[in-house]
A and B are shown apart, each in its own frame.
Chain A
């Protein structure tokens, strides 16, 4: 079973535009992570936000967390063609140490 669900399933934008992806989850969490996966490769960690944090930045990435709504968003600003990939959120349910992934958002950035 998958704890997190990303929305939208697919997103197609032009280079330079911002991309926003959302993640909803079902149970209380310790932390939430975002990963990126290029076609045919393993996942690469992007950013981790803890349950007591509300916002975090890393370069062109901005992540927010709303624990009352059990949701998170990932914003990629000034997107580049190289950002084309699938993006997954992963949550550690409270009391667990197993990161559980959603189905992902497929992002295509057109040059």
Chain B
């Protein structure tokens, strides 16, 4: 596709519900990043994939957060037993070595946990 696509755009979940957020990166991009952005803050790193390999998950806040990219393209971020503090915008970005570190971001998924 022309850009990074994320779905859903908005998600409202009841506390305790599981949610799955999807990211479609730019076709052919090797690197994929997930970030969490709280209101009025900068993006905080969650996890990084190179193709299908999850090379860094040091930013995942708890074991309720899980990400995968099984075929090296589409990625899913899953949050189990959502809590109110999980409410944030979840941003996905993709990149390639040929673009020198530049990240291409999706519009994000705004998650609200009630």
Contact = CB atoms under 8 A, between A and B. Distances in A.
A43 B41 contact: no
Nearest to B59: A98
A52 to B, nearest CB: 13
Contact of B102 (A30, A48, A103): A48
Contacts of A102: 42
Nearest to B56: A98
A33 interface: yes
Contact of B105 (A2, A30, A40, A44): A44
Contacts of B104: 45
A30 B97 CA distance: 14
Given A45-B103, A97-B31, 19 more contacts: A2-B42, A31-B101, A33-B101, A35-B103, A35-B105, A42-B91, A43-B93, A43-B103, A48-B101, A48-B102, A88-B42, A90-B103, A98-B56, A99-B33, A100-B45, A101-B43, A101-B44, A103-B41, A103-B42
